[in-house]
Amino acid sequence: MNSKKGLAPVVVVIIALIIVAAIGGYFIVKGGNSGAATTTHNAPEVANPPTPAANNNPNPTTITPAPTPPPTIPSGPNVKTFQMTAKQWGFTPSTITVKQGDLVKISITSLDVSHGISIPDYNIDREISQGNTVIFQFIADKKGTFPFKCSVLCGAGHSGMKGQLIVE
């Protein structure tokens, strides 16, 4: 008898605890899920490092155009070029006129037999073999009129095969 009277309130208390535990567990589980959901939503938003855009800027700015040097004007002597021919018995042209200090370039071609061109005052004596072309150059550093002549015996008119170099 004593045990039955004592059991009834204990059972009621146990049932009440179970109900409280069930309700409390429901709210604990619900609150736990909501709390976990908010933390997982916040975490990926924070972890966004937007750094790759910074690497694109230095590349275009580091391309520097190569400096173009200013054009240099050569300050050497003026060049005077002459195309001459030699044939029995004369030079064409037979008179060459330049300025003092000019660099004189002469290309002379023999149109028939072998000839020569000698300018003694400029220590020049070149042979032009038959049908060939000889190119030579010198600085006209002396003013005056300087005769030149054929220096290879080339026939009956050889002694009259002459010209002149005029340096003004």
User: How big is the CA angle at 147 (ends 103 and 121), to the nearest 5 degrees?
Assistant: 60
Pick from 84, 106, 154, 165: which binds Cu ion (CB under 5 A)? 154
Which residues inside 131-150 make contact with Cu ion, applying CB under 5 A? 150
Asked if residue 117 binds Cu ion (CB under 5 A), the reply is no
Two structure tokens written together for 52: 């790759």
Map residues 85-114 to x or -, x wherever contact with Cu ion holds by CB under 5 A.
------------------------------
Asked if residue 158 binds Cu ion (CB under 5 A), the reply is yes
Q: Which is nearer to Cu ion, 163 or 167 (CB)?
A: 163
Separation of alpha carbons 150 and 144, rounded Å? 20
Task: Spell out a b/e string for 66-100, using b for 16 or more CB atoms within 10 Å of the CB, else e.
Answer: eeeeeeeeeeeeeebeeebbbebbbbeeeebebee
Shortest CB 150 distance to Cu ion, Å:
3
Two structure tokens written together for 119: 């300018």
Q: Which positions touch Cu ion (CB under 5 A)?
A: 150, 154, 158, 161
